[in-house]
Structure 1
Amino acid sequence: MPLYKTIQPDSQTVVKIWKITESYEYLMSPLDLKVTSEERVLGMKSNIHQRGFLSVRHLLRSCGYTDQDLYYDSNGKPHLKDGKHISITHSFEFSGIIISTREVGIDIEKQRNKITIIAHKFVDYEFHYLDKSAEDYVRKLTVIWGVKESLYKLFATPGMLFREHFLVIPFMLDDLETTAWIDYNNLKHKYHSHFLEFEGYTCAFVTV
């Protein structure tokens, strides 16, 4: 199954999600990869990681780009040569990209109960409004993780901590959006956060 979902939160931004059902060979065959990208994908030990990497290149193609248009800075943040902002994610069966004229971040996570075990590592302020006994506790934790991961990708600054520097304002799952803040080095930055759920996964993305 190729393109799974396309979302356009505003006129300057597009989100595309791919459901990875194709084989490595099928995904690889039409692509023109840079030598560094070929070396990277061949060096991956996991087939699902290889297919996730390649599916992202297919998402790029669907937006009119190729692997040649993508590069990474010293912090590992991806960029497009035409100056537009991009963020990339893949998790098990799904991959996604967000492209915009503004700074952006995206994350896809599988909803799993084990997130409750590590919640204390990335949640602080949010515990004030979370109900640990609620049926939607895992789903809300997954949204919070996804939003904070998206913020981390957008800001791409070493030393930032999910628990201490990122805040997600209270939300309901039906809202499909919330507000998030980065509070770092005595500076506060506000971001628009969106999220959606599908097939046991959560996708979150943030924009300036």
Structure 2
Amino acid sequence: MPFYKVITLTADTILYLWKITEDVDYLFKSVRLKDSSLARLEAMKSESHQKGFLAVRMLLEHIGYTDFDLYYDEFGKPHIKPNDCHTEPVEVSISHSHDFSALVISEQKVGLDMEILKELTLKVAPRYMDVSHLENLSKEDELIKATVVWGIKESVFKIKNIVGISFKDHIFEDDFNLADKKCRVQLRFNNKVEHFDIVFDFIENYVCVCAMHSAPNEIG
């Protein structure tokens, strides 16, 4: 069973990773799915998406939940219900990319994004980030940092999920060093500013980024 790793990001935020080496049939037979999840799975045309979906359910069962404890709100955001093993409410975010599925459990609002390193992310960087943050880096670190920033924008958006938010025009990351594996971010939208703490890590040729929400303040 390729449960890959658990990473404690903060005192109350834990990341779980599954490396997908199984085929779809094995994963399907290893988890219990509610009817709505079966319908979602059957509608997926990509085998990669099917495996990512099922591997998330493997992770849930690994930490004492099941697909029956997971539900989505009207905006498509996942939530977990308390169960007999876990009686306290928690926040959850989910991501999968190619060979990995990931989920994060936290006591606070949280967003998670996992991205494979690919040149396209760097090529389109001017569309979503302040490219001055890539200055004086090696080509390799340019790609890594651009991917981290993309993950930052995605993870913040997963928390807010409001139509109209622009990655480049509304989400602003402080400049940061890759070695620190953390930074701060502001979301400036609808005359409010919200602050987020970001933590990130590197797993093989992937970047995993987690955003944690703090209360918004009015722009003065």
Within a 5 Å distance, the mapping from 1:148-167 to structure 2 comes to 148-167=153-172
Residue 10 of structure 1: aligned partner:
10
Contact 2:122 2:147 (8 Å CA) reproduced: no
The amino acid across from 2:20 in the alignment is I
Residue 52 of structure 2: aligned partner:
52
3-state SS of 1:29 partner: helix
Q: Determine if the alignment matches structure 1 residue 129 to structure 2 residue 99.
A: no
Q: Determine if the alignment matches structure 1 residue 172 to structure 2 residue 182.
A: no
Contact 2:182 2:200 (8 Å CA) reproduced: yes
Q: Distance in 2 between matches of 1:72 and 1:159?
A: 21
Q: Distance in 2 between matches of 1:11 and 1:63?
A: 17
> Which of 104, 113, 133 does residue 110 from structure 2 map onto?
104
Q: Distance in 2 between matches of 1:44 and 1:129?
A: 37
3-state SS of 1:151 partner: helix
Q: Determine if the alignment matches structure 1 residue 196 to structure 2 residue 216.
A: no
Residue 65 of structure 2: aligned partner:
65
Deviations 1:73-113 (A, max 9, x none): 11111111233211000010111001111000000001111
Structure 1 unaligned regions, length at least 5:
none
> Which of 97, 117, 138 does residue 91 from structure 1 map onto?
97
Residue 133 to residue 8, structure 1, CA distance change in 2 (3 Å): closer
Deviations 1:5-59 (A, max 9, x none): 1011233221101111111111111211011101111221111110000000011
3-state SS of 1:15 partner: strand
Q: Distance in 2 between matches of 1:201 and 1:12?
A: 23
| Aligned residues between the structures | 206
Structure 2 unaligned regions, length at least 5:
83-88, 214-220
Q: TM-score, normalised by structure 2?
A: 0.89
Residue 143 of structure 1: aligned partner:
148
> How far 1:117 moved relative to its partner?
2.4
> How far 1:120 moved relative to its partner?
2.0
Contact 2:90 2:106 (8 Å CA) reproduced: yes
Within a 5 Å distance, the mapping from 1:33-48 to structure 2 comes to 33-48=33-48
3-state SS of 2:124 partner: helix
Residue 194 to residue 78, structure 1, CA distance change in 2 (3 Å): same
The amino acid across from 2:123 in the alignment is I
Q: Determine if the alignment matches structure 1 residue 185 to structure 2 residue 190.
A: yes
The amino acid across from 1:102 in the alignment is Q
Contact 2:30 2:58 (8 Å CA) reproduced: no
The amino acid across from 1:88 in the alignment is I
Contact 2:102 2:114 (8 Å CA) reproduced: yes
Residue 20 to residue 119, structure 1, CA distance change in 2 (3 Å): same
